[in-house]
Amino acid sequence: DPFDYFSLRAALTIHGPFPLVHEVSGTGLLYGRKFEHGDGNRSLWGIFQDYDYFDSRIYQFGGQSVGAGILSRFKSRSAMRVYTGVQLNAVILGGSNVGFETADGREYNYTTGSKFKMFVALDHRKYGALAIRYWIYWFHTISGAKGDEFIHYAQAAFNPRIYKKWGLGLEYTYYLRDSYFNDYPESHLKNIELRTFASYKF
């Protein structure tokens, strides 16, 4: 059934130049099939719909995309579990800032394109989790400053257990934006963020 699988991630800022909510990403299953590999190992193949919104120092964009992916869970004989995911999407419609005022007075583009994302997470029942994520977007302008952009999003997070199901983690995020516009100079911007966060595992 649609949205049998659903994930939502949000980043909140309590001070600094960002708005209160500066990152939201959601993924829902439209259609899929589950496969068992024995010993508690399983995979989910399917068609997913994503919604993304980011507001960082070097870009602001939001959009919806649809694509195919696979999510897997592997259990070991110890208390460790390994989670993996790979997904390739088509961006149906997106909007992004351009960092300057165009000839028609706008500072944003409407875009289509594609998105690739992957992650690996190690989750230990006692010690917590270590996760690595990588996303890349390709945006092609359909209205605005003509050209193409590539946005890279790489993240590593360590989330140790501190009390029962509560965790206190550290997260490193790297952003890179490469812009190639037809009528404006190309640009290459990067930003690094280091965050602490609290978590609760249901």
Model pTM?
0.87
Identify the CA nearest to 25 among candidates 56, 46, 4, 2: 56
Asked whether 44 and 34 are in contact (CB, 8 A), the reply is yes
Averaged pLDDT for residues 104-108: 80
String of DSSP letters for 177-198:
EEEEESSS--EEEEEEEEEEEE
The single residue listed with the structure tokens 């359909």 is 142
Q: pLDDT by residue (tens digit) across 170-199?
A: 999 999 999 999 988 899 999 898 988 888
Distance CA 142, CA 59 (A): 18
Band (pLDDT 50/70/90 cuts) for residue 82 is very high
Q: pLDDT by residue (tens digit) across 113-138?
A: 999 999 999 999 888 899 999 999 99
